[in-house]
Amino acid sequence: MTEQSNRRLSVDLADQVAIVTGAARGLGQTIARDIAASGAKVACVDVNEGLLAETVERITAAGGMAAAFPCDVTDGQRVTAVVGEVVGKWGRLDILVNNAGVTRDNVVLRMKDEEWDLVLGINLRGTFLFTRAAAKPMIKGKRGRIINIASVSGMMGNPGQANYSASKAGVIGLTRTVSRELSKRNITVNAVAPGFIATDMAAKLGDEVIEQIKAETPLGRLGSPQDVADAVLFLASDAASFITGHVLVVDGGLMV
């Protein structure tokens, strides 16, 4: 991770408070860094306590305000406690980015119950738990931005990812329903659906698959974490105040 933000959008999030899940590495780390660089205080949530502490140190060293909140997003009690701790520390909650996610790929005939449950639990249940907990202080504060990281796999399907695709399709359904439920409260709820982005998650696919993905992507490359973080920053900003229930696809044209 670079020490300084490389964001290409200048967004003013001063005086705002954000929670970013899965912030220890990958997309979440870049999103947390850029939200902090835009002036917000950022609660970084992850199960990976060591990397989480490093992420927070780097954001702080670059002049941002951040704190670590170790948390498994599937643990409802801990999720509620984290939201309470964040509001207790900084007095409000404006932005929630539900980014924590995992893959456990297998063709459906060989998929184990545990692989299904783990992926649905983290990707979908975790998003629901944080959304429910965060909505309360957002309603109290009379504003909010919830941004869920989905995937093109949840829209077009992907062989070997029945669990992952189902979880991300679920995230999109959750996004659209909650956007309708919270619209009268001045809370927008949107999703970003990345294509293939160069992170540890994509690296697991192997070189051959990655070359094939590049060939099938009209823009001819994998996305960068910055491509996704910029989309999240836009949706978190005032510029997106009339956008809700939307799925912003960031995939280099893969779905065209």
Element (H, E) at 34: helix 26-37
- CA 155 → CA 7, 61, 161, distances in Å? 27, 39, 12
Mark the segment that binds ligand NAP (CB under 6 A) among 8-16, 155-163, 177-185, 190-198: 190-198
141 binds ligand NAP, rule: CB under 6 A: no
151 binds ligand NAP, rule: CB under 6 A: yes
Amino acid at 182: L
For residue 42, the cross-strand partners are 18, 66
Nearest distance from C-beta of residue 74 to ligand NAP, angstroms: 5
Query: Cα dihedral sign for 152, 155, 156, 158?
Result: positive
Element (H, E) at 54: helix 49-61
Q: Residue 86 or 100: which CB sits closer to ligand NAP?
A: 100
**Footprint (CB under 6 A) of ligand NAP, residues 14-53:** 21-22, 24-28, 46-48
Contact letters (x/-) for ligand NAP, 67-106, by CB under 6 A? -----xxx------------------------xxxx----
190 binds ligand NAP, rule: CB under 6 A: no
197 binds ligand NAP, rule: CB under 6 A: yes
- CA 72 → CA 49, 52, 199, 224, distances in Å? 10, 12, 20, 26
147 binds ligand NAP, rule: CB under 6 A: no
The residue from 64, 144, 194, 252 that contacts ligand NAP (CB under 6 A) is 194
The DSSP letter of residue 108 is: G
For residue 218, the cross-strand partners are none
- Residue from 69, 90, 116, 164 carrying the catalytic annotation: 164
Active site residue 164: yes
Element (H, E) at 85: helix 76-90
Residues that bind ligand NAP (CB under 6 A): 21-22, 24-28, 46-48, 72-74, 99-102, 122, 126, 149, 151, 194, 196-197, 199-202
Q: Which residues are catalytic?
A: 164
